[in-house]
Amino acid sequence: MTNAAPAKVAVLISGRGSNMQALAAAQGDAYRLALVASDRPEAPGLAWADRQGIATFARSPKGTGKAAFEQALDTALHDAGAEWIALAGYMRLLSDTFVARWRGRIINIHPSLLPKYKGLDTHARAIAAGDEVAGCSVHVVTEELDAGAVLAQAEVPILAGDTPDMLAARVLIEEHRLYPAALKEFVRT
Ligand code: GAR
């Protein structure tokens, strides 16, 4: 039996934040969300987090540049007491400096069965390739895009007539199941 306090997790988003909402819904003894941060102040997920009473950080790197943005983000993460970072639809590459500072403490969810289809347009590429299965992966973030160790994956079938949007919706349901479970395991390490 352990009486360890819940791990403090920051979630980085760029948009709607449905994975962040799934992570928030699964908060409990394993982890709590200490901060939701975004590189896009208009990201709908930020307003949602704010309404839940979760601390938020919002700042665009446009203007000040990436280094100043990441410095401010790092300060906000420390101020919030964050120990772990979960990227959830965060669509900007983190610098090598930032990744090194948080080495081994950042994970990401990616909408493909890695190592297949790193980067963008994963669902269209899986359909175009004639794949029979697609899915999502939770992986450790390293300096190289979508290349860190895979922690967990979930598969869905690709059906005849699927469009990228139809497939994305099927994969997203699995993302919302997979990510909280993988995060709970990860913060125990
Ligand atoms: C999710 O499908 C996530 O896997 C993907 O963006 C979507 C964000 O949705 N992430 C990436 O493509 C990262 N390269 P959400 O904002 O509703 O969680």
Atom of ligand 1 nearest to the CA of 14: 16
pLDDT tens figures, 156-165: 999 999 999 9
pLDDT tens figures, 131-150: 999 999 999 999 999 999 99
Amino acid 170: pLDDT:
98
Q: Which of 172, 173, 179, 183 to mutate to test the pocket of ligand 1 (most atoms within 8 A of CB)?
A: 172
Amino acid 132: pLDDT:
98
Domain residues of the chain, as ranges? Answer: 7-187
Which residues line ligand 1 at a C-beta cut-off of 6 Å? 13, 15-19, 88-89, 109-111, 172, 175
pTM of the predicted protein model: 0.97
Amino acid 133: pLDDT:
98
Distance CA 17, CA 2 (A): 31
Direct distance between the N- and C-terminal alpha carbons of the chain, in angstroms, rounded to an integer: 16
Kindly state the DSSP code that residue 116 receives in the 8-state scheme. Answer: S
Instruction: Kindly give the distance from the C-alpha atom of residue 29 to the centroid of ligand 1, in angstroms, as a whole number.
Output: 26
Backbone torsions φ then ψ of 101, nearest 5 degrees:
-65, -35
Instruction: Kindly give the distance from the C-alpha atom of residue 176 to the centroid of ligand 1, in angstroms, as a whole number.
Output: 10
Protein residue with least CA distance to atom 9, ligand 1: 89
Sign of the C-alpha dihedral, residues 5, 138, 171, 82?
positive
Instruction: Kindly give the distance from the C-alpha atom of residue 1 to the centroid of ligand 1, in angstroms, as a whole number.
Output: 35
Kindly list the averaged pLDDT for each block of 10 residues, start to end, along the chain of length 189.
85 98 98 98 97 97 94 98 98 97 98 98 98 98 97 98 98 98 96
CB-based contact 188:30 (threshold 8 Å):
yes
Task: Give the C-alpha distances (Å, rounded to integers) separating 100 from 95, 103, 105, 154, 178.
Answer: 9, 5, 10, 28, 26
Distance CA 143, CA 88 (A): 17
Kindly state the DSSP code that residue 176 receives in the 8-state scheme. Answer: H
CATH fit for domain 7-187, picks 3.40.50.170, 1.10.10.10, 3.40.1360.10, 2.60.120.260: 3.40.50.170
Encoding tokens for residue 188?
A: 């125990």
CB-based contact 151:138 (threshold 8 Å):
yes
Amino acid 3: pLDDT:
66
Residue 110 appears among annotated catalytic residues: yes
